[in-house]
């Protein structure tokens, strides 16, 4: 683990992972789709720029 990470941030991250893993598979899929939509919305290229393939 990175020693620069605040222990409370690390604990929060572990709680989020634990909560995600406790979800039923169909709810996990919904969460993943939601996050992917957020990433796509924030990764849109500005006008006149092309998106780079991933």
Answer whether residue 51 shows pLDDT above 60: no
Task: Give the pLDDT score at 21.
Answer: 97
Residue bearing the bigger pLDDT, 29 or 49: 29
Task: Give the pLDDT score at 43.
Answer: 87
Average pLDDT value for residue range 23-30? 97
Who's near 31: CB < 8 A, 6+ residues apart? 20, 23
Task: Give the pLDDT score at 5.
Answer: 67
Residue bearing the bigger pLDDT, 51 or 37: 37
């Amino acid at each position: 683990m990175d020693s620069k990470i605040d222990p409370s941030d690390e604990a929060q991250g572990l709680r989020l992972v634990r909560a995600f893993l406790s979800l039923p598979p169909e709810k996990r899929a919904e969460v993943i789709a939601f996050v992917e939509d957020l990433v796509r919305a924030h990764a849109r290229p500005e006008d006149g720029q092309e998106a780079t393939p991933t």
